[in-house]
A and B are shown apart, each in its own frame.
Chain A
Amino acid sequence: MPSPDSVRATVQTILTRHGARSTQLVQILRETQEALGWLSPDCLADIADATGRTLAEVRGVASFYRFLHLKPVGEYRVLWSDNITDRMLGNRALMMQLCRELGIRPNTTSDDGLVSVALTSCSGMCDQAPAVLINHRWVGTRMDRERVAQMAALIRQRVPIPEWPAEWFVVEDNIRRRDLLLSCTAEPGEALRAALARGALGTLEEVKRAKLRGRGGAGFTTGAKWEACLNAHGQERFVVCNADEGEPGTFKDRVLLTAHADRIVEGMTLAALVTGARRGFIYLRGEYRYLLEHLQDVLARRRADKLLGSAILGRLGFDFDIDIHLGCGAYVCGEESALIESLEGKRGVPRIRPPYPVTHGYMGQPTVVNNVETFVAAAWIVQYGAEGWLRAGTLMSSGTRVHSFSGDVAQPGIYEFPWGVTVEDMLTECGAHNAQAVLVSGASGACLSLVEFGRRLAFEDVPSAGAFMVFDRTRDMFEVARNFAQFFAHESCGFCTPCRVGTRLVVKRMEKIERGRGSRHDIEVLAELDTLMHTATHCGLGGVACNVLHDTISKFRPAFERRLKSLHFEPGFDLDAELAPARAATGRDDDDAHLEQRG
C-alpha cells in the first residue's frame, strides 16, 4: 500500500496537471483512481480543497459515476459486459466460472483484496462478445471457458495485466459493408482544405444542402444546429464530439474512433470553422479508455501537421484545439446536456431544456454537440459535395448510416447502408436466416417483429441510432425485455421520481413474472408505468426506458403470458409457503394446515 505522503503527491501531480480547475473534477477523480485504485476519503478531501468544491459535492460527483470507487476494490477488477447479446453468448456462466475459480461471489471483493468481479452495462463489444473490462482500462474480447480458467490463474499469480496473452485484448473492427463513409480513403486535411476553399459560410451551406441529420438518434438537422450556434450570443463557442457510445448494442463509434479518427477530428474542425469555436472536446466513454492514447496521438500528429491548434493550415485566426474527456460509466451522459454537466465536472444529470446546448451549452456558452458519425459525415459532405450525399438515402434521410450488427447473425460487425434499406435486406446481408425480432436503435429503440421486416431504416419510417440486434426463433423475448429493464434501472440518474422509482418497479414486476408469480394485472401495471414514464420524466432517457418492454408486450405477448401463473391477480409471494414455519412449529403437514387443498 502506498504511503500517505506518496498518495498525496500523486493527487497533487494530477491536480497540478489540471490546474485544479473545478470543471476538470471528473477527469481529476478518474485519473486519481487510475493511479491509486480507489478514491479514499483523504484523496477526496485534498481534491475538494484544491478545486474549491465542498467535500459533499466531490463525494456526490464521485458516487454518481459507476466506474469510480469510494471504497477499496480488488487489485484486479473484472467487469463482464451484460448486454443481452453478451448474455446470449453465455457471459453469466463465464462470470460464475471465474468467481468459482477465484473463490468469490459476484459484486464482492476477495478477502485479500486481490480481485472483484461484477457485471457492467454493454461495453460496446457485442460483435466479439462475451467481453470483459479489466481495471477500467483493458478490454478482453471473445471470452470462453479456457480463457476464463487461464485468467483466474493469472490473477491468482498476480501477473500484471500487460503480461497477459495479447490476443485477448485484440479488438477487431469487423467492417463488413462499406459505403460512402467507410470506403473513404481521404488523407488528413483534405476536407479542411475543401472547407477553406468554400469559406466558412460556404461550408455551412454545403452541410445544410446535404440535409445531414444527427446520427445520435434524435436526428436534428446538423446544418441548422451549426447555424444556430453561430448566431447565438456568447463570448465563446464550443464543439463537442459525443463519443459516449452507451446505447446497448451500439459499437459503430468504437470502429470510427479506431479506424477513422482523423475524419472525426476533421469534422469537428469544420464545425469550428463554421461556428467560430476555438475549443472542442471529445467526450469518450470510460469503456473506451483503451482508445485514449491512440486518439491523443491523432491529435498530436494533427497539431504537428498544422491541422489543429493555432493558424490551422496557415490561416491566421483559424485556431481550434481539442481536449479529450473520459466518461466514467454513466449511460445518461450520452444525453447532450448531461454530457455537458459531466464536462463541467458535475454529476451527469440532464439539464432542463430549453435552453438547448446550442445556445446555452458548455459554461453557458453556445455549443455544438454532435455524434461521432455526424462529424465523419460532415467531413465527407464538405470534401465531396452535397450532391453525392443526396444521391444516397431517401427524401428525408440523406446519405448513409453506419450500423452495429450483433446477436443472431452469421457475421456480426459494422455495416454501412444508405438510408432506406429494408430490415429484410439487412438481415440477408448479415446472414440472419431465422430471425423472429430485430431491435433497432438499442435499449431505447424499437423492437420489430417478422411482419415488419419490410420496413425501411429511415427517419421517416424506422429511425436508428446505429444498433441492429437480431434475435432468432430460439430466443425468449421476455428475457430481452428483462435485460433492458435491468439496464435502465441501473442507469437511471436518480434525479426525477418517475425514472428513479419507475425503472426499479419495472424490474420488480419483471422479476415477479420471471419467478412464475405473475398475472395479467402485472402486465397492466407495466403498461401503466410505461405511460407515466413517457409522459412525466425529466429527460428523454426516462421517457424511452420502457420502449422495448412496450414493444415486446404488444408483439410477443405469448412470451409474457406463458409465464403467468394466473390471468387474475397474484401476490408477489406464495402465501402457503409463508405458513411453513407455523406448520413446522406445530408439527403439522395435513391438508387443513395448507391454504389450498392438495391433490
Chain B
Amino acid sequence: MSTESSSFLLDEQAVPFHEGDTVLAAATRAGRYIPHLCWHPDYGTHGSCRLCIVRINGKPAAACTVQARAGLEVESNTAELNAHRRTLLQMLFIEGNHFCPSCEKSGNCALQATAYEMGMLGPHFEEFYPDRAVDASHPDVMLDFNRCILCELCVRASHAEGKDVFAIGGYGVRAQLLVNASSGRLADTNLAVTDRAAQVCPVGAILPKRKGFSVPIGEREYDTHRPSDIVPEDTP
C-alpha cells in the first residue's frame, strides 16, 4: 500500500504509514528497528525512555511521539544517535540495581538485549546503588523495584484492564512505582499473575514466582534473536 503520499524516509529508505501512526509505530510495522523500551504496540506512546531518539528533518525528537507525515526525513541508525542511546542505556543501568547474571529475566530482558544491540560494553558512569526494597508479598508475582526503569508499561496495562494496580510517585531520581493498596504491598491488590500488567514488564521488575529458569539460558528470547529482528507485519 506504499505510495509516495503515505510514506516517509527512515535512514533514506521509504517507510509506509497509516493515518494516525507515529514514526515508531510505522517503522515497527514495516519491520524497521528503532530502539525503544517504554513503547509497546498495545499501549502506545509514552516518551520516557528516550531510546527512540531520532532526527526528523534534522531536529531531535522521540520517534514514538511524532506523528508520521509524508516526506519526513528520519535519521535513526547514526553514530551520533546510537552513542546517545548507549548513554541512555547506561543511565538506566546505573540508576537501578541490575545484576544480569543473577536475574531471572536475563535473556528475556529488553534492557539487556537493547544494550547488547547498541554495543554497550560497561556502565561508564558510577552506579547509584539505590537502596530499594523487594515486594515478595504476592503469592504469584514478585516485584523487584531495583530493576524498575519507570517505563510505566505495567501502569498502562493495568489501567487498560481496569485494575489500576500501579501508579508513579515521587520526583526526580526518587520517582518510583507505587502499588495501589493502603499497605503499599502487591499482596493487597487484585493483581493476578495472568494479568497483562504482570507480564508486560520489559525488565525483571515484575516476575512470576516459581518459574525460575524453566527456559534455560541460551534458549531464551534474545538468545535466539535480536531486538532488531522484527518481522514486518504485512509480509505473509
Q: Measuring CB to CB, which residues of chain A are less than 8 angstroms from any residue of chain B? A: 41, 45, 54-57, 59-60, 63-64, 66, 330, 347, 352, 489-498, 500-505, 508, 525, 528, 532, 535-538, 572
Contact = CB atoms under 8 A, between A and B. Distances in A.
Interface stretch (B12-20, B23-31, B83-91, B138-146): B83-91
A498 B88 CA distance: 6
Contacts of B91: 497-498, 501-502, 505
Nearest to B64: A352
B75 to A, nearest CB: 12
Interface in B105-131: 125-126, 128
A535 B172 contact: no
A494 B170 contact: yes
Interface in B59-97: 60, 62, 65, 84, 87-88, 91-92, 94-95
Max chain B CB contacts within 10 Å: which of A330, A492, A525, A536?
A536
A41 B175 contact: no
Contact of B47 (A41, A66, A538): A538
A500 B53 contact: no
7 contacts: A59-B178, A63-B169, A64-B169, A352-B47, A492-B171, A501-B92, A502-B91
A502 B60 CA distance: 17
A501 B149 CA distance: 11
A503 B47 CA distance: 18
Contact of A494 (B166, B174, B182): B174
Contact of B60 (A495, A528, A536): A536
Max chain A CB contacts within 10 Å: which of B87, B174, B179?
B87
Nearest to B163: A54
Contact of B173 (A66, A352, A494): A494
Interface in B189-204: none
Contacts of A532: 84, 87-88
B45 interface: yes
A60 B50 contact: no
B172 A63 contact: no
Contacts of B6: none
Nearest to A534: B60
B49 interface: yes
Given A45-B182, A496-B48, A497-B92, A536 B173 contact: no
Given A497-B49, A497-B50, A59 B88 contact: no
Contacts, number: 114
Contacts of A501: 91-92, 94-95, 173
Contacts of B170: 63-64, 494
Contacts of B150: 494-495, 500
Interface residues of B, number: 39
A498 B171 contact: no
Given A496-B47, A497-B88, A504 B168 contact: no
A60 to B, nearest CB: 4
B167 interface: yes
B126 A572 contact: yes
B171 A493 contact: yes
Contacts of A352: 45, 47, 65
Contacts of A64: 169-171
A56 B60 contact: no
Contacts of A496: 47-50
B173 A504 contact: yes
A1 B150 CA distance: 38
B221 interface: no
A223 to B, nearest CB: 26
A513 to B, nearest CB: 14
Contacts of B65: 352
B10 to A, nearest CB: 18
Nearest to B151: A497
Max chain A CB contacts within 10 Å: which of B88, B150, B169, B174?
B169
Max chain A CB contacts within 10 Å: which of B45, B95, B166, B180?
B180
Given A500-B150, A503-B172, A505-B125, 16 more contacts: A41-B182, A55-B181, A57-B164, A63-B170, A352-B47, A352-B65, A494-B150, A494-B170, A494-B172, A496-B49, A501-B95, A508-B126, A535-B84, A536-B84, A538-B48, A538-B62
Contacts of B62: 536, 538
B149 to A, nearest CB: 8
A60 B166 CA distance: 10
B118 to A, nearest CB: 14
Contacts of A63: 169-171
A490 B172 contact: yes
Contact of B182 (A55, A497, A504, A505): A55
A37 to B, nearest CB: 20
Give the 7 A-B residue pairs with the shortest CB-CB distance, closest first. A494-B175, A56-B180, A56-B167, A501-B91, A60-B169, A63-B169, A60-B167
B48 to A, nearest CB: 5
B169 A498 contact: no
Contacts of B169: 56, 59-60, 63-64
